[in-house]
């Protein structure tokens, strides 16, 4: 906690003196202690890079394991050189360190660009240039147009007479529209360096916190008499670091948060790490292979001492033991031998796989960014990958959770119709370049009273936060017919334009006066007393205004569920008023069923005495530093009651292009799609039918406040849950994952609709002993439904739904997609989060793992990219374990023929370079470029997605297949060469071959076999594949000639000298190598031929997957 200077200290608050001037010359000034303005996004420094990076890398199990092996080789007399494990480990550690160091250097460079930039600070009434990192809390900063704010500032004044400025926050939340920020009225006039330096004020505000949209504070301004004038400060007064000043020449602001305490810095710190299912499979395989390694070492150690139990084997005449060896404890010797065997077989654990997987994920993510199909002409952007660690998870999704507004729909609002005092008015308005256009004549059904019409239209013109954008500083709008409206909400622009179509035009705000041109072309002015902003809990917003006659009005608009309960209940004799309210409710319901977004509009007169009380309560609540939100909520709840209903509006949000086709494709791929929205049920249901989430044949099961009566709600809820479960259990008695996917195409489909209130009842009731099974019954119902619609959802409830499904038996993979700040919680909660670069800002895109411009791009992202990424990396993982088992099994078998003496079969150079050079590039190229099925085929036939679901290629079956294949091939390598060596002379001149020739033949067959195995698996050949596959084989041959053709001065033993060249001079060796490669690959070739014949004979099938033997073949679910 920082120390706060000032006369009042509060927990969780700080006091900032403007300009770092003491309030009084007579009072002692306590120096403030806050952090400097340096931004540090880097992870390392020059002095801590090596220890910190090494510590992080050796936390990885495989790296730590190889470090232990290396230390054993250094300290114990082992059969292989420490170089054999030390060099691959050094390579892996070095490559990873270089990659992480380069990324951190880029962060350092970016930090320096920001920290060393120059800013203008007001000191002693003069403008002084300083480096950005030298700004202190309390400094007054001058910012010019189009500059970014160097820290979080409280706006003191601007070049405009009303103290406003316009800001874009695209770098923070992606919103490119201008936002208006305000200075407090007492500092508006201080717009020069000299005048701003005379200000004596203290700001009390909350301690730094990351929420971009919340700020609580107050400013105490001291005059000569030292009587403080207190003004409240909120988010509208705070200019955030990273935001840009627009359409305003200059502003003055005081720094309140600097450096790593700015909201931007706090927002970019730490996001929870997500792990893919493939990573978990790798860890499982590592444990299995570690067990195999320990078993091999234990078997060899045991058999060594069984073999040495015979004296002539333990101490032959030609190899007598030393005195030290005879005196060594047998237990210690056995332990040392066990460690030596572990060192000998340690290459069964593929340490280089981690580097290859990281490179594959990092490089593979570029293919998503480069995909031209993801490019959107409207926003001039494509897809963005924020987390490359989850590429393969895109191919394993079971559940898709999607927002509605802005995700399934365009979030481009058109004013369609309205209802005034129970009378319906109909017309269409479209937004074209900020103007209104009316299609066809305006029609109405009966008419409301003229005064009610005008009151309704005034409400639309006044109850909003719309601004008028001009190219220069704005002091107010002119009475131009061509007005450009800007707002953070497309709904508000549509409503203001709707009012303009009916003859009431909003002309902007000047000096807290809202100006409206009425149908008679008269300018009306209303003093804006208070704006009660919209929030997702209240689901409404209000303004309090005073007209030119002095009458005070409250205008309120919001969701019908938030407006109708607050309407003043008419007297029983007021039949006309009751009918108007009922007609408006019916209009809202009909509009919602047509898929329109509806809002209720209400007002009330406020008496002067009541306004005094309301104003006092609002000021007190706004001035509170502690619990300001709760106090404001209480005051607003009291103000927005007993209102009079004026009417309602209906705005259309069009369905996104190809949204319906995308959902159909996801269903066909076996995915379950849930729509989670805050909209009312009727609107959401209509949208779900339009986007084909629900089919006309889908039977809907409803769990909403309408189906559950207010009285005895829990009893009715329990009855419905039991009833629905019985119905679904009769329909689908057994519910395996495979059956669930088949029935979507063969049986009756069911859809579930639930609202937020009922969901709360289900989740909260689990705490009560009598209703503990509500949640489990609800989940059983959900799992048997093909689609689920959750309406009236709060953001937290969206996350609860995702968490609930994540924790289901079998841990299904979840994906959430949304475009707004209210979707961030579910995006972070799910396994894979996708943000839409929409019109509600970029909060969702910033917090997502992947972001795309439109919902339709989800189809290709999952069905093509996800499918291919999963197949590639699954094949990579299986192949790595396969080739290392092929590599080490002959070494194990060799021990049975060398008296378990720990004699290596391969030369140290081959041991070192097998994973680094000879076999690494072909599998990397395969894992980046392979397309076992054409991308167009994958997107056009979604059923193929089901064949890899459930981590199919990394299950026990495929793992055993690869393991047995490696065991078969390793056995062929060893015994095939062994039988060849039954004739010790392989040349006509009688030259005898030794153990290094034996090992080199085995190694040659090994390298060619595992590389050609990958060539057999490759379906999509490019020049890169040809280059790395044939190039790797050529490099092995070249290296072997080179390594054995020179006497190396740094080697004590030249055991490989001329071995490779002499080996290849024998015709029988050539024949043996070719024959053993063919025998090893024969099962693969035979299976490919058989499956190709079967595929050609199955003419009735549209498509059969290519012959990846680890592929999961299941019934796709079509009859």
Catalytic residues: 403
Length of the chain as a residue count: 1119
Q: Which long-range contacts (CB under 8 A, 24 or more apart) does 723-731 make?
A: 724/752, 724/781, 725/777, 725/780, 725/781, 727/701, 728/780, 728/781, 728/784, 728/785, 729/784, 731/784
Could you give the CA distance from residue 863 to residue 666 in angstroms, rounded to a whole number?
8
CB 990 within 8 A of CB 1055: no
* CA distance readout (Å), 391 to 550, 868, 926: 63, 9, 16
Assign 3-state DSSP to the chain and report helix, strand, coil percentages, each to 5: 50, 20, 35
Tokens representing 988 are 């006509």
- Round to the nearest angstrom and report the end-to-end CA distance of the chain: 67
Strands 850-852 and 832-836: parallel
Strands 118-123 and 126-131: antiparallel
Phi-psi region of 19 (alpha: psi -120 to 50; beta: other; left: phi over 0): left
Could you give the CA distance from residue 647 to residue 499 in angstroms, rounded to a whole number?
13
Strands 513-517 and 505-510: antiparallel
Kindly compute the dihedral angle of the four CA atoms of residues 524, 528, 534, 540, in this order, to the nearest 10 degrees.
-60
**Which residue, 987, 996, 981, 984, is CA-closest to 1054?**
996
Could you give the CA distance from residue 405 to residue 687 in angstroms, rounded to a whole number?
10
Cβ burial 465-500 (10 Å sphere, 16+ → b, else e): bbbbbbeebbebbeeeeebebbbbbbbbbbbbbbbb
- Is the Cα dihedral 391, 395, 396, 398 positive or negative? positive
CB 784 within 8 A of CB 748: no
Query: Which positions ≥6 away from 458 have C-beta within 8 Å?
Result: 504, 516, 524, 555
Could you give the CA distance from residue 579 to residue 146 in angstroms, rounded to a whole number?
55
Could you give the CA distance from residue 492 to residue 505 in angstroms, rounded to a whole number?
13
Could you give the CA distance from residue 866 to residue 390 in angstroms, rounded to a whole number?
10
Could you give the CA distance from residue 131 to residue 579 in angstroms, rounded to a whole number?
68
Could you give the CA distance from residue 563 to residue 640 in angstroms, rounded to a whole number?
9
Cβ burial 298-308 (10 Å sphere, 16+ → b, else e): eebbeebeeee
* CA distance readout (Å), 657 to 406, 604, 661, 850: 12, 42, 9, 20
Phi-psi region of 375 (alpha: psi -120 to 50; beta: other; left: phi over 0): beta
Q: Which long-range contacts (CB under 8 A, 24 or more apart) does 719-728 make?
A: 721/774, 721/777, 721/778, 721/781, 722/777, 724/752, 724/781, 725/777, 725/780, 725/781, 727/701, 728/780, 728/781, 728/784, 728/785
Task: Name residue, tokens 């002309």.
Answer: 507
Cβ atoms within 10 Å of 510's Cβ, excluding its own: 15
CB 158 within 8 A of CB 248: yes
| H or E stretch at 419 | strand 409-420
* CA distance readout (Å), 209 to 264, 557, 622: 10, 31, 19
């Amino acid at each position: 906690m920082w120390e706060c200077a000032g006369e009042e200290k509060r927990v969780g608050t700080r006091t900032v003196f403007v300009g770092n001037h003491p309030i009084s010359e007579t009072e002692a000034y306590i120096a403030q202690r806050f952090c400097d303005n340096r931004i540090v996004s880097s992870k390392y420094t020059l002095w801590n890079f090596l220890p910190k990076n090494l510590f992080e890398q050796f936390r990885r199990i495989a790296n730590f394991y190889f470090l232990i092996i290396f230390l054993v080789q250094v300290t114990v007399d082992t059969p292989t050189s420490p170089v054999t494990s030390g060099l691959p480990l050094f390579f892996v550690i070095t490559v990873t360190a270089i990659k992480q160091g380069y990324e951190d250097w880029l962060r350092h460079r970016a930090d320096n660009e920001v920290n060393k930039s120059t800013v203008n600070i007001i000191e002693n009434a003069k403008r002084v240039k300083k480096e950005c990192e030298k700004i202190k809390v309390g400094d007054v900063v001058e910012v010019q147009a189009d500059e970014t704010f160097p820290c979080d500032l409280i706006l003191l004044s601007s070049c405009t007479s009303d103290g406003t400025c316009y800001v874009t926050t695209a770098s923070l939340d992606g919103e490119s529209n201008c936002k208006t920020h305000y200075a407090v009225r007492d500092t508006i006039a201080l717009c020069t360096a000299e005048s701003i330096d005379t200000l004596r004020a203290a700001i009390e505000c909350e301690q730094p916190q990351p929420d971009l949209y919340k700020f609580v504070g107050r400013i105490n301004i001291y005059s000569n008499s030292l009587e403080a004038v207190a003004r409240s400060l909120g988010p509208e007064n705070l200019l955030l670091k990273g935001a840009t000043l627009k359409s305003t020449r200059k502003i003055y602001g005081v720094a309140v948060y600097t450096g790593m305490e700015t909201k931007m810095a706090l927002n970019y710190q730490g996001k929870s790490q997500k792990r893919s299912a493939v990573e978990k499979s790798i860890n499982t395989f590592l444990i299995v292979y570690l067990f195999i390694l320990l078993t091999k070492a234990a078997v060899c150690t045991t058999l060594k001492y069984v073999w040495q139990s015979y004296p002539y084997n333990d101490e032959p005449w030609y190899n007598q033991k030393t005195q030290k060896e005879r005196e060594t404890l047998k237990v210690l010797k056995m332990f040392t031998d066990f460690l030596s065997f572990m060192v000998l077989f340690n290459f069964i654990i593929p340490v280089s796989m981690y580097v290859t997987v990281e490179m594959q994920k990092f490089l593979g993510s570029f293919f998503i960014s480069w995909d031209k199909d993801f490019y959107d002409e409207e926003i001039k952007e494509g897809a963005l990958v924020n987390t490359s660690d989850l590429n393969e998870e895109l191919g394993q999704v079971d559940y898709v959770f999607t927002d509605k507004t802005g995700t399934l729909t365009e979030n481009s609002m058109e004013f369609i119709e309205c209802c005034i005092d129970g009378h319906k008015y109909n017309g269409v308005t479209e937004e074209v370049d900020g103007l209104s256009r009316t299609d066809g004549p305006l029609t109405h059904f009966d008419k409301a009273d003229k005064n009610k019409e005008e009151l309704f239209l005034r409400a639309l013109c006044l109850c909003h936060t719309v601004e008028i954008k001009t190219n220069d500083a704005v002091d107010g709008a002119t009475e131009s017919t061509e007005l450009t409206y800007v707002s953070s909400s497309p709904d508000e622009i549509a409503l203001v334009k709707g009012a303009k179509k009916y003859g009431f035009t909003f002309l902007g705000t000047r000096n807290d006066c809202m100006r409206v041109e009425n149908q008679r072309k008269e300018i009306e002015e209303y003093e804006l007393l208070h704006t009660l902003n919209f929030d997702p809990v209240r689901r409404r917003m209000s303004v309090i205004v005073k007209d030119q006659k002095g009458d005070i009005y409250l205008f309120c608009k919001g969701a019908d569920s938030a407006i109708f309960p607050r309407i003043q209940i008419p007297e029983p004799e007021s039949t006309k008023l009751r009918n108007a309210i009922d007609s408006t409710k019916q209009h809202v319901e009909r509009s919602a069923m047509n898929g329109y977004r509806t809002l209720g509009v209400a007002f009330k007169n406020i008496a002067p005495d009541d306004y005094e009380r309301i104003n006092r309560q609002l000021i007190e609540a706004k001035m509170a530093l502690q619990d300001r939100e709760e106090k404001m909520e209480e005051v607003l709840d009291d103000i927005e009651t007993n209102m009079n209903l004026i009417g309602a509006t209906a705005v259309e949000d069009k369905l996104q292009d190809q949204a319906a086709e995308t959902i159909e494709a996801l269903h066909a791929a076996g995915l379950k799609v849930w729509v989670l929205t805050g909209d009312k049920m009727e609107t959401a249901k209509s949208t779900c039918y339009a986007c084909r989430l629900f089919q006309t044949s889908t039977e809907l099961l409803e769990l909403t406040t309408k189906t559950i009566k207010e009285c005895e709600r829990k009893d009715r809820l329990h009855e419905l849950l039991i009833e629905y479960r019985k119905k679904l259990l009769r329909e689908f008695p057994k519910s395996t994952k495979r059956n669930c996917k088949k029935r979507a195409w063969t049986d009756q489909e069911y859809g579930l609709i639930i609202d937020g209130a009922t969901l709360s009842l289900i989740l909260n009731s689990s705490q009560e002993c009598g209703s503990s099974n509500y949640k489990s019954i609800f989940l059983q119902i959900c799992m048997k439904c093909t689609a689920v619609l959750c309406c009236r959802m709060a953001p937290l409830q969206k996350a609860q739904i995702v968490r609930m499904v994540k924790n289901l038996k079998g841990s299904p993979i979840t994906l959430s997609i949304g475009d707004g700040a209210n979707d961030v919680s579910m995006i972070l909660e799910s396994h894979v989060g996708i943000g839409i670069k929409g019109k509600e800002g970029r909060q969702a895109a910033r917090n997502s793992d992947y972001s795309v411009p439109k919902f339709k791009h989800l189809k290709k992202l999952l069905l093509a990219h996800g499918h291919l990424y999963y197949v590639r990396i699954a094949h990579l993982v299986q192949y790595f374990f396969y080739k290392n088992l092929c590599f080490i099994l002959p070494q194990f078998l060799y021990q049975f023929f060398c008296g378990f003496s720990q004699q290596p079969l391969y030369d140290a150079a081959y041991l070192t370079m097998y994973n680094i050079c000879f076999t690494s590039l072909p599998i990397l190229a395969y894992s980046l470029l392979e397309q076992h099925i054409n991308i167009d085929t994958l997107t056009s036939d979604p059923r193929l997605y089901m064949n890899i679901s459930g981590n199919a290629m990394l299950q026990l079956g495929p793992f055993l297949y690869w393991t047995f294949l490696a065991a078969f091939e390793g056995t062929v390598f060893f015994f095939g060469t062994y039988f060849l060596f039954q004739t010790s002379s392989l040349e006509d001149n009688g030259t005898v071959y030794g153990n290094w020739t034996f090992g080199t033949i085995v190694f040659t067959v090994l390298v060619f076999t595992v590389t050609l195995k990958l060539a057999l698996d490759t379906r999509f050949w490019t020049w890169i594949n040809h280059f790395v596959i044939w190039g790797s084989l050529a490099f092995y041959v070249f290296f072997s000639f080179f390594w054995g053709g020179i006497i190396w001065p740094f080697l004590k033993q030249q055991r490989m000298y001329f071995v490779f060249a002499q080996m290849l001079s024998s015709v029988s060796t050539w024949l043996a190598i070719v024959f053993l490669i063919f025998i090893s690959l024969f099962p693969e070739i035979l299976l490919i031929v058989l499956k190709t014949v079967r595929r050609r004979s199955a003419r009735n099938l549209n498509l059969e997957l290519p012959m990846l033997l680890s592929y999961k073949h299941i019934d796709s679910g079509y009859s």
